[in-house]
A and B are shown apart, each in its own frame.
Chain A
């Protein structure tokens, strides 16, 4: 491994430095048919799962084949995607906002050949490389985070929980038989990077133990006021303690006020809190982003804790499947999961999905909590 210079000169770091050029203009990457009809599309159809057709006012048609991607992918995988795009699509492709991959062609025959090719490509161990689907009223890709692959604050893994879940709901990725689209998202801690707070079903990593305080090092590695200000419930205060015969500045955590959010650890490396037995997953449901019929809504916690069970998280995936199947059977056409739960009432949602209701699910965070209790005699037995 011999160092190969790119031309950068560490002796003169600011020499020839190019900055603030941003991304390239998107028009450099548009397929010709897209560039030609941009802003002049007439309508679209979903021909079959994973295959869209857009028709321009000009009469031009573009067929899109959408396939699943693992988001975490190797350059070998990207190069294979490029090979496919070179073979069928004149070297063009795109990624979606849910990390699926889309290939565009100009005839239905090409689209069908492409779909067959994509569905035929598998890893040697058996999983699809590019399963076609993700359109219409089904389950599409799971927006997710870094987990144990790259982050320092997770309470669970992202790639693993997502793979385990998508395997269990895979039939819904390649079909369009639900009342409405179901968006599943995943975040490995409650920073909620991504879309967990606004998804039909959301997988969220949570802790259940207060931080461990590294008193010996805290004052050297943390800005104490920032750690104090990081706590949503005011559980942290600065303090001095006696350690090895000398007085050190540190913090104290009032454990009964701590709800294990981990935000103090984000600010202060001397307050780690991950724990094999304490950590796990909370399940949320009923969020949406679109303004279609009903307003956008936050997801709500319906299962306060499911233990981490790597590598396949069977309790988690079983619970998700149960909620999904109950919704699919019971909801009206066009009704998102949250709209269904609101219509039947949350007491009925818990009954139908056979979920236990515990006090953990009753909001107790500041003033707004009151508005989530029930100020009416309207309820169902």
Chain B
């Protein structure tokens, strides 16, 4: 039986959505019953005390975790988020309650064999509680004590062949959409690029060497299923540069009502018969489509590859064959100077092993930011402070209209001295020859 009364949390056991309270309670029961006779390395009461502490927060309306916490494993500068409760006498089971970030496989496919092994490890050495997954992508093991950190790491690396994820001022754990593994929109192998860059930059991930955190995310197309454009300092979004492949017979099948639009995504409501003019042609953001005499035409040169028509008619319209990705830079949350989404830096780059061109670009960006970025300044903020043009300069990219939403409307334009005839060294006496005071 649980040792704390939790009348407020108990109210979160009703309702249809999976109750985290009921789930934690089943873990509490499991640990007290201990059917496998596990010699728990952190108190059996750990999840019980977590609910007790959380109930206290529900009463007080304030968190009960002390500020910060610096713990880890030798050799690494991150991967573990230390945490101590501020009522250790009342809740000894969570006096230490550190989180371990574990590197997840690209696309988050698992075998039960792997997950069961991880559960056995965490049952012995942790609270038995997890997050599947952290927002950045990691498997998150919530709640263990300092002496267990090296033990968990040893078992993870030696028995499971798996590493920690990232935390601190470094490259954080990269993540991707499921890509080519189960999506016909994927313009490149997001999982492979994610894996390869994760491996390439292990040192940058485990040992903080940056002014601040830096994240990679990989989306297979502009739909953004891993939200790269909003949630990574460097975002890789798949795209193509040739024509959308149109199968006119299948277009006719959509028009004839044989196939549900958008793969049936709106099937729960009667939106009337599919109207290709209204639902596709008229909604195209660049107005580059035409449907006449039963034929769909796309002026691909004017297409901005927003994915709308492809999403509405996935069986009739396919991504092009000349594929690659766009790279955008600078996304971040508001702290310090406001939120940013990624800004288009490389409109198109081929994604081909061994990804040398991509790596070269990444490293040129890092070389610059590691030198110029201020303490705790995200690269998006460095861009705002030093200018987008500086990024182009250090990466050797030529400015292009695709780099802007619109040209500047203020005339406060910097010129380099060498670009102006005669330079900047001028004598007032020469000026006065022509212009009296």
Taking beta carbons and an 8 Å cutoff, which residues of A are in contact with B?
1-8, 10, 13-14, 16-26, 28-31, 34, 38-39, 41-49, 54, 62, 64, 68-79, 81-82, 85-86, 91-97, 99, 101, 104, 123-131, 135-138, 143, 145, 147-154, 157, 159-160, 163-164, 166-167, 170, 173, 175-179, 181, 190-198, 226, 229-230, 232, 261, 263, 265, 269, 272, 274-277, 279, 289-294, 296, 298, 308, 310-312, 333-334, 365-366, 368
Contacts and interface: CB of A to CB of B under 8 A. Distances in A.
A150 B142 contact: yes
A22 B157 CA distance: 9
A193 B265 contact: no
B339 A20 contact: no
B58 interface: yes
A232 B65 contact: no
Contacts of A82: 112, 115-116, 119
Contacts of B24: 72, 74
B111 A91 contact: yes
Contact of B315 (A43, A69, A81, A94): A43
Contact of B163 (A23, A95, A143, A175): A23
A42 B41 CA distance: 50
Given A190-B334, A198-B230, 10 more contacts: A20-B203, A45-B263, A46-B263, A92-B111, A123-B18, A136-B263, A157-B57, A163-B15, A311-B8, A366-B338
15 contacts: A22-B195, A26-B105, A28-B105, A71-B131, A72-B23, A82-B112, A92-B111, A126-B15, A138-B268, A151-B63, A170-B17, A196-B333, A290-B224, A291-B305, A311-B12
A96 B306 CA distance: 22
Interface in B295-325: 304-308, 311-312, 314-315
B17 A291 contact: no
B411 to A, nearest CB: 17
A20 B202 CA distance: 5
B234 interface: no
B68 interface: yes
B362 interface: no
B357 interface: no
Nearest to A130: B18
Contacts of B307: 290-292
A128 B17 contact: yes
Contacts of A368: 338
A61 to B, nearest CB: 11
Contact of A175 (B39, B230, B268): B268
Contact of A79 (B61, B116, B262): B116
Nearest to A167: B15
Contacts of A333: 266, 271, 279
B113 interface: yes
Contacts of B338: 365-366, 368
Given A198-B227, A290-B307, A163 B22 contact: no
Nearest to B217: A97
A181 B225 CA distance: 12
Interface in B147-185: 147, 150-155, 157-158, 161-163, 175, 177-178, 180-184
A111 B277 CA distance: 35
Interface stretch (B120-128, B346-354, B365-373, B396-404): B120-128
Given A82-B112, A149-B54, A73 B20 contact: yes
Interface stretch (B96-104, B386-394, B415-423, B426-434): B96-104
Which of B57, B147, B153, B223 has the most chain A CB atoms closer than 10 A to its own CB? B57
Contacts of B118: 78
Contacts of A126: 13-15
B20 A19 contact: no
A149 to B, nearest CB: 6
Given A72-B129, A127-B13, A190 B335 contact: yes
A170 B111 contact: no
Interface in B23-81: 23-24, 26-27, 30, 39-41, 43, 47, 50, 54, 57-58, 60-68, 74-76, 81
Given A30-B181, A290-B222, A148 B230 contact: no
Interface string B188-218: 0101000100110011011000000000000
Contacts of A194: 135, 231
Contacts of A124: 22
Contacts of A178: 269
Contacts of A70: 17-20, 23
A34 B178 CA distance: 11
A31 B230 contact: no
B2 interface: no
B20 A163 contact: yes
Nearest to A75: B119
A290 B238 CA distance: 12
A18 B65 contact: no
A44 B18 contact: no
B379 interface: no
Contact of A276 (B19, B62, B129, B222): B62
A278 to B, nearest CB: 9
Contacts of A181: 265
B12 A74 contact: no
B109 interface: yes
B375 interface: yes
A98 to B, nearest CB: 9
